[in-house]
A and B are shown apart, each in its own frame.
Chain A
Amino acid sequence: MIALGQFLEVLIGGLMSGVLYSLVALGFVLIFKASGVFNYAQGAMVLLAGLALVRALDLLVANGLPLWVAVVLAIGFAAVIMAATAWLIERFVIGPLVNQDGLTLFMSTIGVTFVIEGAAEMIFGSDVYPLRLFPTDAWFLFEGLFPGGILVNKLDVWGALIAGVLVAGLAVFFQRTKTGRALRAVADDHLAAHSVGIPISWIWFVVWLVAGLVALVAATVWGTKLGVQFSITFLALKALPVLIIGGLTSIPGAIVGGLIVGAGEKLAEVYLGPSIGGGIEYWFAYVLALAVLMLRPQGLFGERIIERV
């Protein structure tokens, strides 16, 4: 019974961690889905959003505003910063590169990553800024059944709830709104979309804005978990295997990919790690991703690419 309890605890903890990875992966999916650009800068966007949020929040609280008012205003400020970032990226990076191949656009986002990281730290500071928007203690479930119970972290549960709401909202946005349908049309063929009157610049601005807002949501959860700091940018690396497994074009895929990566790496670290020296969870996630790539290159939920020749 103890072993079962431990297994369930690791499994649940892993699934919950996976949902937090999905929060970052969603930003990648959104931009790729709508513009075909693999946005390497998503991790840096989480950092920027988090820094803007926490610095504004600290300032407002220090000036005597009630916490909830300060939180609302700080989120608004961070959203404005992400909107400005989206506009700048569309105007000066992605816009001028329209019609270039995917690799060129990908390289441009690597450049954007370094610019955002540098600018964010220069403007908002490079210390660790604590953020406490959600509870970080834990529940211990089924204590009668398993000695010590099964630990479930409250922050992880909040992360899962937020991810669920986010996915539902994005699904409605893409399927039911005019802008969402326009986004999908641009993703399929931006020249064809342009020829039927869809304003490409506006659509790309919207998609980068939505990705920026998703980054802000991810920053609230990850910032509470780690404190807002540079290391948040490393989350991009945690999102990559999630994307490979779930597929670059699928929002539900980002969630399922996250669950597989989270559970897989945690179980591997706890049960396989001790026999091979430990510290395996980072690369084990990529082993899982490689296995999926071999069997289904487009990911579990990705669109199959068929080209007629």
Chain B
Amino acid sequence: MASIARNVLMLAAALAAAALSAPAAAQNEQFIPILSYRTGPYAVNGAPYANGVVDYYNLINERDGGINGVKILTEECETGYATDKGVECYERLKSKGPTGAAFINPLSTGITFALTEKTATDKIPIITMGYGRADSKNGAVFAYNFPLLGTYWSAADLAIQQIAKELGGFDKLKGRKISLLYHDSPYGKEPIPMLQVLAQKYGFEFTPIPVTHPGVEQKSQWLAIRQNRPDYVLVWGWGVMNSTAIKEAAAVAYPRDKMIGVWWSGAEPDVTPAGDQATGYKALMLQHGAGKFPVHADIEKYIYAKGKGSTEPGKIDEVLYNRGMVNAMLGVEAIRKAQEKFGKKPLTGEQVRWGLENLILTDARIKELGFEGMLKPVSISCSDHEGARYGRVQQWNGKAWKVISDWSTADESLIEPLVADVSAKYAAEKKIKPRDCAKET
């Protein structure tokens, strides 16, 4: 009996000590929620991305002791790529940590649409690197949205640039047929307005072809493509839809080198299930591709050598793992930038938003961070929440992705009027008074 009482007392003391020490430890931690999907039909793409994010945050803690001494505290929440679950995760995590969420990164355009108003109200930045609302590039209207490194309108323009290059010039686009095979969701629909603008400008015939979630059945779409015989098919898919598209293309003998996927349709899980049938398939790159860069040496040394990695060591050079790391790095650097103004302590979402809006990564800084070769310079501002719109094209050779183009830049003169028009309509509808970016510091 005495031993039971002693155990109970020890447990109570331990709990009390933990309760007293936890807030003290948490006071110097910056909370970053991780919305991920490691289960469900999109897990094959969601998991490697999440692994890159988690490993990079761990690297900052393990190697640097946090961001200027402020440790990163994370919590993962499984969304399954479902909008309702994503919103639920956001609501549950937004107030955690001493200052609440530094930012949110939903990895879903559908969740982005659902959270855009909420995050603005809660003053928490929503980082949508390479996805999300294309009109949210306009930071004057979308103060808390950051579609970093490239929107789908930039991607659409880059894809058409590539086709023009292959055909021998923009004038050769006239009279051509270009189809868009897209995931029938906010994500897949996002490039359509830009492609319509481009079709009008260059005189090609544009046909959007939706594929219902999750994309396991595409026979009718590919029979329609076989009948229409487009010169190129752009693929805006995710998860199983991508590999199924490649297999169906092979089944109807559509040449894979006339298919160009967006950067979410250009990772290893998109091509390997199709085997040899995927050879020749092309995809845009959100700047980086697969492979190891200097930062990977640190990941191996500080994370995998200590057995703290999120995945198998052989998978840390994959496209989506790298993208997760780039995404995490941009968030970390935004916090670091904000610390210059607000102090080396945990920051609020509003303060981190300032950091994002003033973040400039030069070639030298990118090299210092170990991302040389993965990224071009980034310069985010109040009026430009995209920060960079470079892209390249890679091609699957049956075993690996090979970069087949030089760097290109999306044509801002075409994108900007559409951004201004659509974001102005959004501002009018939501009664948002656009900020005067000239006065923002």
Contacts and interface: CB of A to CB of B under 8 A. Distances in A.
A153 B223 contact: no
A281 B253 contact: no
A132 B288 CA distance: 32
Interface in B257-281: 269, 272-275, 277
B216 A234 contact: yes
Interface stretch (B38-46, B53-61, B411-419): B38-46
A231 B214 contact: yes
Contacts of A235: 216
Contacts of A13: 219-220, 223
B212 interface: yes
B217 interface: yes
A83 to B, nearest CB: 26
A231 B208 CA distance: 24
Interface string A237-267: 0100000000000000000000000000110
Nearest to B239: A231
Contacts of B277: 136
Contacts, number: 108
B230 to A, nearest CB: 14
Interface in B133-182: none
Interface of chain A, main secondary structure: helix
**Interface size range on B against A:** 35 or more
Contact of A278 (B44, B47, B209, B244): B209
Nearest to B269: A128
A41 to B, nearest CB: 17
Of B38, B221, B223, chain A has the most CB atoms within 10 Å of the CB of: B223
Q: Which of A9, A227, A231, A281 has the most CB of B within 10 A?
A: A231
A58 interface: no
A35 interface: no
Contacts of A9: 223, 226-227
Nearest to A233: B41
Contacts of B244: 226
B251 interface: yes
A10, A130, A229, A273 — which one has the most chain B CB atoms within 10 A of its CB?
Answer: A229
B291 interface: no
Interface string A140-169: 000000001001010100000000000000
Contacts of B41: 229-231, 234
A279 B210 contact: yes
Interface in A195-249: 225-227, 229-232, 234-235, 238
Contacts of B209: 278
Interface in B17-61: 38-41, 43-44, 47
A173 interface: no
Interface residues of A, number: 42
B252 A138 contact: yes
Interface string B233-263: 0000001100110010011110000000000
A6 B227 contact: yes
A49 to B, nearest CB: 17
Contacts of A266: 219-220, 223
A127 B44 contact: yes
A22 interface: no
A151 B223 contact: yes
B184 interface: yes
A17 interface: yes
A90 interface: no
B297 interface: no
B39 to A, nearest CB: 7
B44 A126 contact: yes
B114 interface: no
A302 interface: no
B251 A138 contact: yes
Contacts of A227: 240, 243, 273-274
A231 B252 contact: no
Given A130-B272, A238-B217, A282 B38 contact: no
Contacts of B220: 10, 13-14, 265-266, 269-270, 273, 281
B217 A132 contact: no
A269 B277 CA distance: 25
A128 B273 contact: yes
A226 B251 contact: no
Nearest to A265: B220
A151 B250 CA distance: 12
5 contacts: A9-B223, A17-B217, A151-B226, A266-B220, A281-B212
Given A136-B251, A229-B41, A279-B210, 15 more contacts: A6-B227, A9-B227, A10-B220, A10-B223, A13-B223, A14-B220, A17-B217, A126-B44, A148-B226, A151-B252, A231-B215, A266-B219, A274-B224, A279-B184, A281-B217
Interface of B: 38-41, 43-44, 47, 184, 208-212, 214-217, 219-221, 223-224, 226-227, 239-240, 243-244, 247, 250-253, 269, 272-275, 277
Interface of A: 6, 9-10, 13-14, 17, 118, 121, 126-130, 132, 136-138, 148, 151, 153, 155, 225-227, 229-232, 234-235, 238, 265-266, 269-270, 273-274, 277-279, 281-282
